[in-house]
Amino acid sequence: MDISLTVSIFLWVVIASLAVVSSRRAIACLAILMVSGYIALRSNSIGALLPLVASLMLWLGTALISIRRYIIGTTRRDIENSGALASIPFLGFSATLLFKHPGYGAFGILIWFFLWYYLKNACKSLRALCLLILYLPTILFVILYRTPIAVVYGIITLWLQNEIKILQNIRNKEES
C-alpha cells in the first residue's frame, strides 16, 4: 500500500474519531455518508461519486470546525469570522466541479474568495441571504448531477449551519 494512502487513511480515522467524540451530529452525518457511499459505489456512476467526494470534503471541514470548538476551544477571531464559514459548501462544490468542468470549477474557486470576504463581513447572523448562499451548492449539486446522493451534502450543510449558529450565539452573548 502506498505510504501517502496509509497516512491519509490514518488521518481520516483520527479526525473521524475526534469528531465522533465532539458531536453527535458527526455520527449521524458519518453514517449517512457511509450508506450513500455504498449506494454510489454500487451505481458505478461518476455522477454519484462526485457529490459523495464533495460531501466527504464538507464533512471533513465541518468535523475540523467541531473538533476545534469542543477540544481546543474558540478564540475571539474564530467568533468574529464565523460568517465566513458559510462559504465552505461553495468551496467544496467548486473543488469537485474541477473534475467534471475545470473552467467552471476554477471560476467557482475564484468566486469563493470574494464570497468568503463578503460573508466574513456581512453574515453576523444567519439571515436569509446567508442561508441562501449556504445551501446554494446543495441545490446546484442536485441540478447538475441529477442524483439524490447530492442531498447528503445538504445534511452535512445543516450540521455546518448549526456550528455557525453556536459560534454566533457565543458572539451575541459576548456583545450583550
Q: What is the pLDDT of residue 132?
A: 87
Model confidence at 44: pLDDT above 90: no
Task: Calculate helix-pair angle for 46-67, 3-22, nearest 10 degrees.
Answer: 60
Determine contact, residues 93/108, Cβ cutoff 8 Å.
yes
**What's the burial of 24, exposed, middle or buried (CB within 10 Å: 0-12/13-18/19+)?**
exposed
Structural domain including 104 reads 3-175
The rounded mean pLDDT for the chain is 82
Count of structural domains, the chain: 1
Report how far apart, in Å, the C-alpha atoms of 142 and of each of 21, 41, 43, 127 are.
Answer: 31, 18, 16, 23
- C-beta neighbour count of 174 within 10 angstroms: 10
User: For 108-144, what is each residue's pLDDT tens digit?
Assistant: 999 999 988 888 888 877 778 888 888 999 898 888 8
Grid coordinates given for 52: 459523495
Residue whose grid cell is 457529490 = 51
